Amino acid sequence: MRHSIETLRDRRNCRSPWPCTSILLVAMLVGCGPKQAPSPAGNAAAPSAAAPSAAAPSAAAPSDAAPVAPAPAVAGGDVDRAKVPLRVVAPDDEELNDGWIALFDGQTLFGWEPGSAANWSVQDGLISVSEGEPGLLCTTAEFADYQLRLEFKFESGTNSGVFLHTPLVPTDPEKDCYELNIAQPEVSPFPTGSFVKRQKADGQFAPDEWHALDVELRGGQAVVRIDQQTVLEYADPRPLLRGRIGLQLNKGKVEFRAIRLKPLELEPLFNGVDLNGWVAAPAAPAADIFRVEADQAIRARGGKGQLESERTFGDLVLQIECKTNAPLLNSGIFFRCIPHESLNGYESQIHNGFRKGDRQSPVDCGTGGIFRRVDARIVVPDDGAWFRKTIVASGPHIAVWVNGFQVTDWTDTRPPDPNPRKGLRRQPGSIMLQAHDETTDVSFRQLHAREMPRRSEP
């Protein structure tokens, strides 16, 4: 494969809990998390937000091996940008098309934030914890409706859990989160699979064994399955609607792996037939730049312009497939844009170039980076091949996945401003697809998005 990426397709030799149809072996840069300083502009001539310029397996049963060799934990936030080897396991085409993303990369805690002082660590492709101040390790991103899958193992006497729709530091599982317990019946009155202080689950799950957890949250409805058994169905009369996902240290050792999520309730923004719901600007010549082709894709070609959604979104989940049809092209997906202005929003960059054969050194921010704000920590896709982006923006926080692998975790710490070129914009805005210049030849398809509901507070 191009760019010296080794692809392994021998299912017999693959012992990952992820599908083995495509395993990409790369050297990965441990990027900065939400507190990273903005990166320098990579393309002074390009329009951008400052000057306008995708997973997971569906197998429910636990796997028998960890996906990654031992490596030290590296959390999101202010971290050393040292290079460490990483084996990135990609979802197969079916799962990628179904919208799955990985919340845990198998080697670092990129995209996670601890809420207390505990010995959270990553080794052998696992997140583990055994001692310290009780509390959570949470995703930096918030999510609304979703399906969550992970595998867990606990020692006898452990009391732990997976927290859903939670703040970083919850105060009462009856009010401000859903605490999905991991504990034996003799340890807790809410055994494994229960929602603590809400509803008790049926079932007994042995310690020192891997178990597969599958949770579906839609509004106030929750369904919990463990090892393919439905153990809990719960309806919340006052649903929380959104929040972080947290792993808990309470008492005893617990381990987690293969953590992945599929956003639910996204709505199509493109019908695959015409540009209904979209406006090209300026009307000429941009109306001739963006066309719907026979493969049900929007193709931007041969000029400079933008295609703008009529709908607006603030806190959003956006999934889209993209393809650069020639090497080293520059484009982008803009969101929270000031409607009808020229590409005035946050730009999730599209540029698959990297320096000296090193995917950890992106050219011009790199695909999935937020242009002129933070570079992608690694360039995942190749020119000429379809790739999927997932963008989650909640308040000042923005996270981006490319082909199900998280490349960006950034918080806009600037003072609020309705103009995203000047400060933090939280107001709803349009989505824009960019035609960068006369060399533009980029395709887009499978556009789905939703406005995340506001979190219900107790």
Q: Is residue 49 part of a domain?
A: no
Q: Answer whether 0.75 is exceeded by the pTM.
A: yes
Q: Which of 243, 245, 248 has its CA nearest to residue 259?
A: 245
* Same structural domain, 254 and 365: no
Cα(15)–Cα(64) distance, integer angstroms: 7
DSSP 93: H
Q: Is residue 111 part of a domain?
A: yes
Cα(84)–Cα(80) distance, integer angstroms: 11
Q: What is the CATH number of the domain that holds 127?
A: 2.60.120.560
Q: Which of 86, 64, 84, 42 has its CA nearest to residue 354?
A: 42
Q: Which residues of the chain have pLDDT under 70?
A: 1-91, 283-287, 458
Cα(188)–Cα(384) distance, integer angstroms: 54
pLDDT of residue 284: 58
Q: Is residue 422 part of a domain?
A: yes
Domain that holds residue 442: 267-451
Question: Which three-class secondary structure state does DSSP give residue 351?
Answer: coil
> What's the maximum distance between 2 C-alpha atoms anywhere in the chain?
71
Q: Which H/E stretch holds residue 288?
A: helix 283-289
Q: Where are the beta strands (DSSP E) in 96-177?
A: 101-102, 112-114, 121-123, 126-129, 135-139, 146-154, 159-166
Spell out the residues 6+ positions from residue 314 whose beta carbon is closer than 8 angstroms to its own. 336, 393, 426, 427, 428, 429, 451
pLDDT of residue 451: 97
* Same structural domain, 144 and 241: yes
pLDDT of residue 43: 34
- For residues 313 and 298, the answer to whether their CB atoms sit within 8 Å is no
Cα(25)–Cα(297) distance, integer angstroms: 30
pLDDT of residue 204: 85
Cα(242)–Cα(249) distance, integer angstroms: 22
- For residues 358 and 397, the answer to whether their CB atoms sit within 8 Å is no
pLDDT, tens only, 309-338: 999 999 999 999 999 999 999 999 999 999
Question: Which three-class secondary structure state does DSSP give residue 2?
Answer: helix
* Same structural domain, 278 and 257: no
Cα(75)–Cα(114) distance, integer angstroms: 9
- For residues 157 and 208, the answer to whether their CB atoms sit within 8 Å is no
* Same structural domain, 273 and 228: no
pLDDT of residue 82: 56
Q: Which of 254, 226, 256, 257 has its CA nearest to residue 156?
A: 254
DSSP 75: B
* Same structural domain, 148 and 35: yes
pLDDT of residue 51: 35
pLDDT of residue 50: 34
* Same structural domain, 35 and 158: yes
* Same structural domain, 216 and 68: yes
pLDDT of residue 203: 74
pLDDT of residue 87: 64
Q: Is residue 50 part of a domain?
A: no
pLDDT of residue 215: 98
Domain count of the fold of the chain: 2
Give me the residue label for tokens 């990297």.
Answer: 354
Where among 228, 248, 263 does a domain terminate? 263
pLDDT of residue 1: 35
